[in-house]
Amino acid sequence: MNLHNRRQFLRLLGASSLGALVHGCGGGGDSGTGDSADTGDSGSGGGTTPVTPPVVNVSGHVVVVGGGMGGATVAKFLRLWGGQNLRVTLIERNPSYTSNILSNLVLNGQRTLSSLAYDYARLRDNYGVNVIQGEVMGIDPVARKVSLGDGSTQTYDRLVLAPGLEFDLMPGLTDYQTIPHAWQAGPQTALLAQQLAAMPAGGTFVMTIPAAPFRCPPGPYERACVVADYLKRNKPGAKVIVLDANPGIAAERASFETAFNTLHAGVIEYHAAATIDSIDPVTRLVQTNLGSIAASVLNPIPPQRAPRLVQDAGLVNVNGRWAGVDVLSYESTAHPGVHVIGDASATTQPKAGHIANAEAKVCADAIVRMLAGQAPDPAPVTNSACYSPITATTASWLTAIYHYDPASRTMKPYVTGEAASITSGNYEDMFPWFNNLMADSFG
């Protein structure tokens, strides 16, 4: 532990344990520096609940595979909460992560991909995470070992997999090189933006949405709106055809129905319960239950599943696609010692970056306790939130808070809500949300 980390560690210990304990008992008079109007009251306001010291001085090695929203967050909070003797190694194939959140704004030219890139320097320098750029080739959950593409291995006491998703090939396609799904922000996002910019006036943008569950439930509908708004201003007469495999809009229904039926009426043509029989990547003809549909620009969002690494490790045990987990710790229901967080796991929570961050914290807290020989927190809470741009200046939002339900052993929605209307205020609120979320995840 370097000096910075040691200081931070001592500060944390003081802040979150001793001080809290004093106030919790009503024994302290120093309520903090940030709130001069409210002195000496935190004990009385907080009731008589004592706050015990966090578990510290656990030792061991946790390997985290995947440096997206969940992986970065779990690595950071393991170091923050685990104390100086908990070693954390994060293995990620790319030098930086490109945020899926806000990546629809690359399509209308409001953001660049580079403005959505987050590297691992702060996790390494400020939190002491050992960051390895490499590809994990295999997992041996019995020997507790992962092997990397360069032939090296990492042994672990606990393994956290945060590997994101794998995309099915849709019928008729052999890859997504020319017909991008752009559901993982990166080169495909740039390609789709180029294709939209080159689209003729009066052209047709066709997108397909897979049956739930898929990454970012509001995301496809958000994309339809952002693209419709862009086309209205730049490609007069152009249309957006949405072919949704679901029986109806799968998330944030009130906002998107308003958007489709009023704001973007005449531009977006929405079809529920659509089936895709085949896609011709050359002619851009889509064969569907609604007949043959011609696209100028085609954006099939494929069905998704836990990546091959998770499948090969024998961790996929829900619907043949996802890794079953105990949501008190995110430990796999197939292999002890292996935790799966984020999109690859099967839970009642959405597959999205904000809640992957929340799952990561529950997982980090549980791992620290488990390494100390304790049980995980028996009553975790997680929250999901996201803002959805509807035009270049307006947005809606969606949020849900989940409490652990011991009877069903699932995270159950406790409160949910969506924006009352589509406003410019929501659009402005979107950026501080995004910036704080990314800072909380990447340091």
Partner 1 sequence: MKPRHFTYVLALLGACVLFPVQAVRAESGRLLASNCFQCHGTEGRSQGGIDRLAGMGANKLIGEMKEMRAKTPGNDMMKVHARAYTDAQLNDIAAYFANVR
Residues numbered 347 to 386 that lie near partner 1 (CB under 8 A) are 354, 357-358, 361-362, 365, 377-383, 385
SS3 413: strand
The answer to whether the CB of 127 falls within 8 A of the CB of 1 is no
Cis peptide before 217 (omega within 30 of 0): no
Q: Does 218 bind partner 1 (CB under 8 A)?
A: no
Nearest residue (CB) to partner 1, 280 versus 405: 405
Number of residues that bind partner 1 (CB under 8 A): 76
Binding to partner 1 in span 91-110, by CB under 8 A = none
Q: Does 77 bind partner 1 (CB under 8 A)?
A: yes
Binding to partner 1 in span 50-69, by CB under 8 A = 50-52, 54
The answer for residues whose C-beta is within 8 angstroms of residue 241's C-beta and 6 or more apart is 204, 205, 206, 207, 269, 271, 293, 295
Nearest to 338 by CA among 95, 151, 66: 66
Nearest residue (CB) to partner 1, 27 versus 266: 27
Nearest residue (CB) to partner 1, 278 versus 431: 431
Nearest residue (CB) to partner 1, 323 versus 395: 395
Nearest residue (CB) to partner 1, 270 versus 404: 404
Bridge partners of residue 381, in order along the sequence: 403
The answer for residues whose C-beta is within 8 angstroms of residue 435's C-beta and 6 or more apart is none
For the CB of residue 109, give the shortest distance to partner 1 in the complex, in Å. 23
Structure tokens belonging to residue 336: 């002890």
- Which of 119, 125, 157, 440 touches partner 1 (CB under 8 A)? 440
For the CB of residue 161, give the shortest distance to partner 1 in the complex, in Å. 21
Nearest residue (CB) to partner 1, 8 versus 311: 8
For the CB of residue 38, give the shortest distance to partner 1 in the complex, in Å. 3
How many Cβ atoms are within 10 Å of 9's Cβ, its own excluded?
18
Going by the DSSP 8-state scheme, the letter that residue 249 receives in this structure is -
Nearest to 68 by CA among 403, 355, 426, 428: 355
Binding track over 390-419 against partner 1, x by CB under 8 A: -------x-x-x------------xxxx-x
How many Cβ atoms are within 10 Å of 187's Cβ, its own excluded?
14
For the CB of residue 378, give the shortest distance to partner 1 in the complex, in Å. 8
For the CB of residue 290, give the shortest distance to partner 1 in the complex, in Å. 36
Nearest to 340 by CA among 124, 70, 10: 70
Binding to partner 1 in span 131-170, by CB under 8 A = none
Nearest residue (CB) to partner 1, 289 versus 431: 431
For the CB of residue 356, give the shortest distance to partner 1 in the complex, in Å. 10
For the CB of residue 392, give the shortest distance to partner 1 in the complex, in Å. 18
User: CB under 8 A: which stretch of 128-136, 176-184, 268-276, 424-432 binds partner 1?
Assistant: 424-432
Rounded-to-integer distance, Cα 184 and Cα 346, Å: 19
Rounded-to-integer distance, Cα 64 and Cα 278, Å: 38
Rg (CA), the chain: 23
Give phi and psi for 382, each to the nearest 5: -130, 160
SS3 89: strand
Rounded-to-integer distance, Cα 202 and Cα 104, Å: 21
For the CB of residue 99, give the shortest distance to partner 1 in the complex, in Å. 14
For the CB of residue 121, give the shortest distance to partner 1 in the complex, in Å. 16
For the CB of residue 382, give the shortest distance to partner 1 in the complex, in Å. 7
Nearest residue (CB) to partner 1, 110 versus 383: 383
Nearest residue (CB) to partner 1, 39 versus 112: 39
Q: Does 281 bind partner 1 (CB under 8 A)?
A: no
Nearest residue (CB) to partner 1, 190 versus 385: 385
Nearest to 395 by CA among 426, 417, 421, 428: 426
Nearest residue (CB) to partner 1, 219 versus 303: 219
The answer to whether the CB of 71 falls within 8 A of the CB of 342 is yes
Binding to partner 1 in span 11-50, by CB under 8 A = 11-12, 14-16, 18-25, 27-28, 31-35, 37-39, 41-50
How many Cβ atoms are within 10 Å of 114's Cβ, its own excluded?
8
AA identity, residue 398: L
For the CB of residue 78, give the shortest distance to partner 1 in the complex, in Å. 13
Token look-up 């923050």 returns 80
Q: Are strands 304-305 and 166-167 parallel, antiparallel or unpaired?
A: antiparallel
Binding to partner 1 in span 190-209, by CB under 8 A = none
